[in-house]
Amino acid sequence: MDFRRLETAELSGKTALVRVDFNVPRKDCGSISDDTRIQAALPTIKAIRAAGGKVVLLSHFGRPKGETKPELSLSFLLPVLEEHLGETIGFTDGFDPSAITENITLLENTRFQPGETKGDEALTKEWAKLGDVFVQDAFSVSHRDHVSSAGLAKFMPAYAGLATERELDHLAQALENPAKPVLGVVGGAKVSTKIDLLSNLVEKLDMLAIGGGMANTFLAAQGYPVGKSLCEHDLAETALEILKAADKAGCRILLPIDVVAATDFAANAPHRVCGLNDVAPHEMILDAGPETVNGLADAIDRAKTLIWNGPLGAFEIEPFDTSTIEAAQYAAKRVKNNDLIAVAGGGDTVAALKHAGAAQDFTFISTAGGAFLEWMEGKELPGVEILRPKKGEA
């Protein structure tokens, strides 16, 4: 997609307001348990400093819901950022431009302000006084029409940070201008949470494999017994409509052709592989069977691009993680052989691919969650729309 990139911004002598995602997980002792989001922001901060610009960092942390809560203050990040960046980091509540005395300044938790999540214009104007350009480097919140994720672009030019740029380039590679054929793998518990996603993908993909609990709804809609399986029987008509739309669009749907059925949802519960017509009333489907995995591997062989969202079975408990592990590892192997572009993200996807030991070999894995899903659903993201060049803009 076409968007304003950081390399095109005039930064020398300017102050950039940079939206980052520092909503990092912390241990009980207060230390950061995973600094992936901090590491992701460093290249953009360093690039702005190298270009002669100052930086004001904006991020939320936790769910303060418009209240100032000391335990959710971002002050704990100051020593961490100073260690990574080798500079003194300033700290401000964002209402006094004269407080921006350091080359890098961290703004207090944006969601301490009730107007932040409402896109309040008065708050937007106050924060806009702190800088000259806006840099959106938190794709994870780009689906939010908040002051710090989109609103600031009303009062200053907006550019994609390097992390957001990487995300958008890979998503475009997977869905906007993909190498064909394109295969989608969508798993998870419920069809109800992914109706928009499935409806959009069948219009864009050549093949779509549906797994996890949501596959049970499609099987039941076609008349197969699913026993005590997780299944949204009330969405049978919706499932059939999605299948019809796929057929009309020329998208081949891949559903399980055999399943792993068990009597209990528990690790190593008694289980068996059976055909679609053989699931007993007291059994539940907890994974796809080996023939289904073989069929998915064949589809992966034919594909040039793979988009993956969600696990294929109850991957949290053994041995019902088998289909997810085998399919993910097979896809990763093809990526390593330069035969496949594989992009994944959303929900439990990252955890599932890490569990499979395949995450590091995928072309790109988004940790954006909701923003990734809304992008895949074909929705406009406020924090992305602000980056598009205006009509007549070079």
* Confidence bin at 337 (pLDDT 50/70/90): very high
Sorted by sequence, the CB contacts under 8 Å of residue 318 that are 6+ apart come out as 267, 268
392, 11 contact by CB (below 8 A): no
pLDDT at 57: 98
277, 249 contact by CB (below 8 A): no
To the question of pTM greater than 0.95 for the whole model, the response is no
pLDDT at 394: 55
pLDDT at 96: 86
DSSP annotation of 88: -
Instruction: Indicate the SS3 state at residue 260.
Output: strand
DSSP annotation of 5: B
Cβ count within 10 A of residue 32: 16
Judging by beta carbons within 10 Å of its beta carbon (0-12, 13-18, 19+), is residue 389 exposed, middle or buried? exposed
Which domains are seen in the chain, by residue range? 6-161 (3.40.50.1260), 169-376 (3.40.50.1260)
Cα 322 from chain centre: 24
The residue-averaged pLDDT of 16-38 equals: 91
Residue 272 pairs with which residues in a beta bridge? Answer: 261
Task: Enter the tokens of residue 305.
Answer: 């691009």
Distance of alpha carbon 251 from alpha carbon 257, whole angstroms: 18
61, 74 contact by CB (below 8 A): yes
The residue-averaged pLDDT of 202-210 equals: 97
Q: Percent of the chain having pLDDT more than 70?
A: 99
Give per-residue pLDDT as tens, 372-390: 989 989 899 999 999 999 8
Instruction: Find the catalytic residue in 4, 19, 37, 334.
Output: 37
226, 216 contact by CB (below 8 A): yes
The residue-averaged pLDDT of 24-52 equals: 92
Residues, the chain: 394
Distance of alpha carbon 394 from alpha carbon 390, whole angstroms: 9
Reported as type and span, the H/E element at residue 54 is strand 54-58
* Predicted confidence (pLDDT) at residue 225 exceeds the cutoff of 90: yes
The residue-averaged pLDDT of 326-339 equals: 97
* Confidence bin at 392 (pLDDT 50/70/90): low
Give per-residue pLDDT as tens, 134-164: 999 999 999 999 999 999 999 999 999 999 9
Identify whether 190 is a catalytic site residue.
yes
Give per-residue pLDDT as tens, 68-119: 999 999 999 999 999 999 999 999 988 888 889 999 999 999 999 999 999 9
Identify whether 347 is a catalytic site residue.
yes
Given the structure tokens 């896109």, which residue do they identify? 119
* Predicted confidence (pLDDT) at residue 28 exceeds the cutoff of 90: no
The residue-averaged pLDDT of 30-52 equals: 94
pLDDT at 387: 97
Strand order across the beta sheet in which 15-19 lies: 89-92, 104-107, 54-58, 15-19, 133-136, 158-160
Dihedral of the alpha carbons of 168, 170, 175, 180, in degrees to the nearest 10: 160
* Predicted confidence (pLDDT) at residue 367 exceeds the cutoff of 90: no
Identify whether 37 is a catalytic site residue.
yes
Half-sphere exposure of 177 (CA within 13 A, CB side): 7
Q: Which backbone phi and psi does 295 adopt, to 5 degrees? A: -65, -40
* Predicted confidence (pLDDT) at residue 347 exceeds the cutoff of 80: no
Q: Which of 30-34, 177-181, 239-243 has the lowest mean pLDDT?
A: 30-34
* Predicted confidence (pLDDT) at residue 369 exceeds the cutoff of 90: no
Distance of alpha carbon 21 from alpha carbon 37, whole angstroms: 6
Q: Percent of the chain having pLDDT more than 90?
A: 87
pLDDT at 370: 86
The residue-averaged pLDDT of 360-374 equals: 90
* Predicted confidence (pLDDT) at residue 29 exceeds the cutoff of 80: no
Instruction: Find the catalytic residue in 62, 227, 369, 370.
Output: 370
pLDDT at 277: 97
Instruction: Find the catalytic residue in 154, 190, 272, 388.
Output: 190
Give per-residue pLDDT as tens, 294-310: 999 999 999 999 999 99
pLDDT at 249: 97
The residue-averaged pLDDT of 214-242 equals: 97
For the chain, the average pLDDT equals 95
Cβ count within 10 A of residue 112: 21
Give per-residue pLDDT as tens, 244-290: 999 999 999 999 999 999 999 999 999 999 999 999 999 999 999 99
